[in-house]
Amino acid sequence: MGDMTPGMVCGHHHLYSALARGMPAPPVRPANFLQILEQIWWRLDVALDLEMIRASARLGALEALECGTTAIVDHHESPSAIEGSLDVIADACRQVGVRAVCAYGVTDRHGPDGARRGLEENERFLRAGGRGLVGIHAAFTCSDETLEAAAGLAEDLNVGAHVHVAEDLVDAAAGDRLAGLARDDWLLAHGVHLHRPLPGTLAHNPRSNMNNAVGYAHPAAWPGRVVLGTDGIGADMLEEFRLAYARAREADVGMSPEGSWQWVEAGWQLVPEARADRVRWSYNGADDPWRLAFTPGVRAIDVWVDGEQVLRAGRPTRVDPEEVRRKAAEQAKRLFARL
């Protein structure tokens, strides 16, 4: 029993959503998943510019670090500010001292030109040596041509793709449309309504799935690797683990905390460097899933990434957290004025 673990990995995040909290209510109250996208996220993402993205990513990275999360697998979309957006996110995470695996979510929501520019942003970033995956928003917002182009780009660059898959019934055709394209190195977010197995890692986001009322993904039945993500609701992976365990237990009382902890450990296969990062927690027993599953409020005290201490006594060493939060509040105000 001890108070140290490797760095946590958030297997599916949207750093741009850090500024969304407190946004004005939408004109129409969303009544289903598609309306949540239309009324909230697609109004927000189109209003983002690079300054907002920078402030949002810095805040999200800071909040991740404060939760002992040293690696973020991000999925980004900002249709009015595509070019350079992945560099802004990677730089923001680097400043804070957190690892980032970036992807731009390609989509035909803004016509073929928008899809092309999204593909180009992935390619530009990855060819320049950026750490990332080729992002695809979801099959239901992409033509077959765009899906094939993104899959082809991923194969050419020898990286996986990071895609939302069957999060809701609106995307129930994703399994059939991605079969033949998906490979073992793909990262498939959600899979709630996926009725056929695909190659790849499943990123399970229990809190987000509840929040969007899309159903339960039954990750224990997934034949391949499962990791945990937050889908943009912070990056507290111990909290997501507790929730993942509670949902797994609700579906099957035979589930153990060790079963859900395997999904945390699988994050270290997704971002292997994070396994060498160290986190000292406020709780002696942080390496025991049975204790953690029933202990809310465990906090990261000290964090080392690549041997460098980036959180000391709960405070980041590389950035001024008050300044990060002040900048985020300024940019959130600009963002809300555009909605």
Residues that bind Zn ion (CB under 5 A): 231
Q: Give the residue nearest to Zn ion (CB).
A: 231
Q: Shortest gap between Cβ of 137 and Zn ion (angstroms)?
A: 9
Nearer CB in complex with Zn ion: 121/231: 231
Q: Shortest gap between Cβ of 235 and Zn ion (angstroms)?
A: 13
Q: Shortest gap between Cβ of 12 and Zn ion (angstroms)?
A: 6
Q: Shortest gap between Cβ of 75 and Zn ion (angstroms)?
A: 5
Determine how many CB atoms are found less than 10 A away from the CB of residue 116: 15
DSSP labels for 258-317? HHHHHHHHTHHHHSGGGGG-EEEESSTTTT-HHHHTT-TT--EEEEEETTEEEEETTEES
According to the 3-state scheme, what is the secondary structure of 173-207?
CHHHHHCCCCCCCCEEEECCCCCCCCCCEEEECHH
Residue 213 vs residues 37, 41, 246: alpha-carbon distances, Å: 13, 16, 16
Residue 310 vs residues 72, 94, 165: alpha-carbon distances, Å: 15, 11, 34
Nearer CB in complex with Zn ion: 142/310: 142
Q: Shortest gap between Cβ of 189 and Zn ion (angstroms)?
A: 5
Label residue 3 left, alpha or beta by phi (over 0 means left) and psi (-120 to 50 means alpha): alpha
Q: Shortest gap between Cβ of 289 and Zn ion (angstroms)?
A: 25
Nearer CB in complex with Zn ion: 186/281: 186
Nearer CB in complex with Zn ion: 207/242: 207
* Residue 186: partners with Cβ closer than 8 Å, 6 or more residues away: 154, 160, 161, 162, 163, 198, 199, 200, 201
Q: Shortest gap between Cβ of 316 and Zn ion (angstroms)?
A: 26
Residue 248 vs residues 65, 198, 251, 292, 336: alpha-carbon distances, Å: 27, 21, 5, 15, 37
Sign, CA torsion 308/55/320/228: negative
Place of tokens 């498939």: 188
